[in-house]
């Protein structure tokens, strides 16, 4: 029996080569058990010109496969040019737009839209505010505990989504740390972030893995994995879960999550599908985000 829960594939946060980006989404369209795909550049507007010419074909392929398509937007808007990019996206008709910055949410007010995990929503009042402005779905911030999710889900008034897999987006800066690490400036970055398809690992001075860098974005080193918590969240009334794309077998990974949601599997070990990624679920269990708490 298929559950009513839905899987969303979040936007690719990393700077993949255009052909790889296109082929990834073509495979998602043809093979992945996801219901919704969120497309667009969230981190750095300098990447947009490379895959923008491919966007129409990708959208057509995804919609032809029965996937809902949502257009995502920048998490940090720093110039008039970037504001114009966001205005152009929000002016498009026929597709839902996801706001990752409050200014984008303001542009979308009065018509249906979604809110991404980069906007801080920590209480019922904020949820009600965005629902009143037209938001139909909110992907909640990644640092919320299961207890907080339970409280928010009781009187949400709109659809709630939780990031159930992926390195956690922690911050976006005006500075490009990826370029800085290669002794380059942001304006002359030479797109070195392309060399790290899952982000560049960052260690402490003691050599301990700590964070990951992705251009101007800071991510967690560990990969959030809530596959064992899906049933509990469904009991809360949360029925939409987001998978953040990584350079792994995302089709297989989506299938594993789908099997759990449909009751075909009590929970699966994902290490073979996510080779090289270290799992954590600390925030959900109200401890340090980088920790992994074993299922009871």
- What the block records as the tokens of 6 is 């839905």
CA 27/CA 168 separation, integer angstroms: 24
The reply to whether 187 falls in a domain is no
> Which residue, 260, 251, 202, is CA-closest to 227?
260
> Which residue, 180, 219, 182, is CA-closest to 197?
219
Q: Enter the DSSP assignment of 145.
A: -
276 burial (CB, 10 Å; 0-12 / 13-18 / 19+) is: exposed
The reply to whether 97 falls in a domain is yes
Angle at which helices 55-64 and 18-31 cross, to 10° = 10
Instruction: Residue count of the chain, please give it.
Output: 296
Question: Residue 2: what pLDDT?
Answer: 54
Question: Residue 161: what pLDDT?
Answer: 98
CA 63/CA 169 separation, integer angstroms: 27
Question: Residue 244: what pLDDT?
Answer: 98
pLDDT band at 208 (very low <50, low <70, confident <90, very high): confident
For the cut 80, the answer to whether the pLDDT of residue 265 exceeds it is no
Q: Is the dihedral of CA 27, 32, 36, 42 positive or negative?
A: negative
Question: Residue 209: what pLDDT?
Answer: 86
How many C-beta atoms lie closer than 10 Å to residue 294's C-beta?
7
> Which residue, 60, 124, 128, 70, is CA-closest to 99?
70
pLDDT band at 269 (very low <50, low <70, confident <90, very high): confident
From residue 142, give the alpha-carbon distance in Å to each of 80, 101, 167, 178, 289: 29, 15, 10, 23, 9
User: Rounded to two decimals, what is the model's pTM?
Assistant: 0.95
Phi then psi dihedrals of residue 224, to 5 deg: -60, 130
Residue 293 CB contacts under 8 Å (≥ 6 apart), including other chains: 281, 282, 284, 285, 287
pLDDT band at 267 (very low <50, low <70, confident <90, very high): low
From residue 173, give the alpha-carbon distance in Å to each of 65, 76, 268: 36, 8, 36
pLDDT digits (tens, 9 = 90+) for 102-133: 999 999 999 999 999 999 999 999 999 999 99
Please state which of the ranges 18-27, 77-86, 201-210 shows the lowest mean pLDDT: 201-210
- What the block records as the tokens of 1 is 């029996």
- When divided into structural domains, the chain yields a total of 1
Q: Which long-range contacts (CB under 8 A, 24 or more apart) does 88-94 make?
A: 89/40
The reply to whether 58 falls in a domain is yes
pLDDT digits (tens, 9 = 90+) for 74-98: 999 999 999 999 999 999 888 999 9
The reply to whether 201 falls in a domain is no
Q: Give mean pLDDT, residues 24-49.
A: 97
Q: Give mean pLDDT, residues 174-192.
A: 92
- 208 vs 70, residue with greater confidence: 70
Does residue 215 sit in helix, strand or coil?
coil
Q: Give mean pLDDT, residues 254-258.
A: 95
Can you say how many angstroms the Cα of residue 154 is from the centroid of all Cα atoms in its chain?
23
Domain interval for residue 55: 6-169+220-285
For the cut 50, the answer to whether the pLDDT of residue 237 exceeds it is yes
Angle at which helices 18-31 and 250-261 cross, to 10° = 30
- 1 vs 54, residue with greater confidence: 54
The reply to whether 54 falls in a domain is yes
Could you tell me the CATH number of the domain that includes residue 144? Answer: 3.20.20.70
For the cut 50, the answer to whether the pLDDT of residue 258 exceeds it is yes
Q: Give mean pLDDT, residues 223-229.
A: 96
The reply to whether 295 falls in a domain is no
Q: Enter the DSSP assignment of 175.
A: S
Question: Residue 1: what pLDDT?
Answer: 46
From residue 33, give the alpha-carbon distance in Å to each of 6, 187, 195, 252: 9, 39, 29, 9
The reply to whether 209 falls in a domain is no
Task: Report the chain's mean pLDDT, rounded to a whole number.
Answer: 94
Question: Residue 90: what pLDDT?
Answer: 94
- What the block records as the tokens of 200 is 């560049």
The reply to whether 22 falls in a domain is yes
């Amino acid at each position: 029996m298929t559950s009513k829960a839905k899987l969303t594939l979040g936007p690719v946060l990393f700077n993949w080569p255009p052909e790889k980006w296109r082929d990834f989404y073509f495979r998602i369209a043809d093979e992945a058990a996801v219901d919704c795909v969120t497309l667009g550049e969230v981190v750095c507007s300098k990447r947009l010109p490379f895959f923008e010419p491919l966007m129409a074909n990708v959208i057509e392929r995804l919609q032809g496969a029965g996937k809902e398509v949502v257009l995502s937007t920048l998490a940090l808007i720093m110039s008039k040019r970037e504001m114009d990019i966001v205005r152009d996206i929000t002016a498009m008709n026929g597709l839902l737009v996801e706001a990752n910055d409050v200014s984008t949410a303001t542009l979308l007010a009065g018509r249906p839209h979604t809110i991404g995990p980069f906007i801080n929503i920590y209480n019922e009042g904020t949820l009600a505010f965005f629902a009143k402005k037209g938001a139909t779905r909110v992907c909640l911030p990644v640092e919320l505990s299961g207890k907080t999710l339970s409280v928010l889900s009781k009187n949400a008034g709109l659809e709630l989504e939780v990031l159930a897999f992926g390195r956690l987006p922690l911050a976006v800066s005006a500075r490009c740390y990826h370029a800085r690490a290669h002794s380059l400036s942001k304006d002359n970055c030479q797109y070195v972030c392309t060399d790290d398809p899952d982000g560049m690992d960052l260690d402490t001075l003691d050599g301990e893995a700590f964070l990951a860098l992705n251009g101007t974005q800071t991510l967690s080193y560990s990969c959030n994995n809530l596959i064992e918590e899906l049933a509990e969240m469904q009991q809360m009334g949360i029925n939409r879960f987001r998978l953040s794309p990584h350079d792994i077998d995302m089709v297989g990974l989506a299938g594993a999550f789908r099997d759990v949601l449909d009751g075909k599997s009590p929970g699966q070990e994902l290490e073979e599908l996510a080779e090289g990624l270290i799992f954590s679920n600390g925030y959900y269990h109200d401890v340090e985000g980088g920790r992994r708490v074993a299922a009871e």
